[in-house]
């Protein structure tokens, strides 16, 4: 009840953040689990987890648990708000987002066990994405 403005502002804040926006865009083609996202974006998994928590709170993504993995996906198109649909369309054109998606394709092509049971050092840096 009431303060729907505040709610909308919270949803906008959730998306007004580089990592969260990248994660959101990354999910558009389909679900990914937390470790796949962390590997794709080359960021600490706790950061991904926190990003996803905010996106979930804002109602943009939903989770599906499968064993120890947590797969996140966008809410269905028909449930998405107007501005979210516009935003996703706009974000899809960004070079950063397109690069992320290429990396995600490569990550999805690998078995999950190969992707996730990795120490950070073993990950070869690509595309100028830096880590430590």
Residues 95, 50: Cα–Cα separation, whole Å: 24
The answer for residues whose C-beta is within 8 angstroms of residue 36's C-beta and 6 or more apart is 104, 107, 108, 112, 115, 116
Give the footprint of DNA on residues 11-40 (CB under 7 A).
Answer: 13, 16-19, 33-35, 38
DSSP reduced 3-state for 124: coil
Question: 47, 43, 67: which is closest to 55 by C-alpha?
Answer: 47
Find the binder of DNA among 67, 76, 95, 128 (CB under 7 A). 67
DSSP string, 75-92: PPGGGS-HHHHHHHHHHT
Binding of DNA by 128 (CB under 7 A): no
84 binds, among DNA, its own copies, none (CB under 5 to 8 A by kind): its own copies
Cβ atoms of 90 and 15 closer than 8 Å: no
Find the binder of its own copies among 30, 86, 126, 127 (CB under 8 A). 86
Find the binder of its own copies among 76, 95, 111, 119 (CB under 8 A). 95
Binding of DNA by 49 (CB under 7 A): yes
The residue ranges that bind its own copies (CB under 8 A) are 2-6, 8-9, 12-13, 15-18, 21-22, 81-87, 89-91, 94-97
**Chain residues that interact with DNA, rule: CB under 7 A:** 13, 16-19, 33-35, 38, 43-50, 52-54, 63, 65, 67-70, 112-113, 116-117, 132
């Amino acid at each position: 009840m009431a303060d729907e403005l505040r709610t909308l502002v919270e949803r906008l804040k959730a998306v007004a953040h580089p990592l969260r926006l990248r994660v959101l865009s990354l999910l558009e083609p389909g679900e990914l689990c937390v470790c796949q996202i962390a590997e794709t974006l080359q960021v600490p998994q706790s950061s991904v987890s926190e990003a996803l928590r905010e996106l979930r709170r804002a109602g943009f993504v939903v989770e599906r648990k499968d064993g120890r993995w947590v797969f996140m996906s966008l809410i269905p198109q028909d449930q998405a708000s107007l501005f979210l649909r516009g935003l996703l369309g706009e974000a899809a054109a960004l070079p950063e987002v397109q690069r992320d998606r290429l990396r995600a394709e490569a990550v999805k092509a690998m078995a999950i066990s190969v992707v996730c049971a990795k120490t950070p050092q073993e990950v070869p840096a690509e595309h100028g994405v830096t880590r430590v």
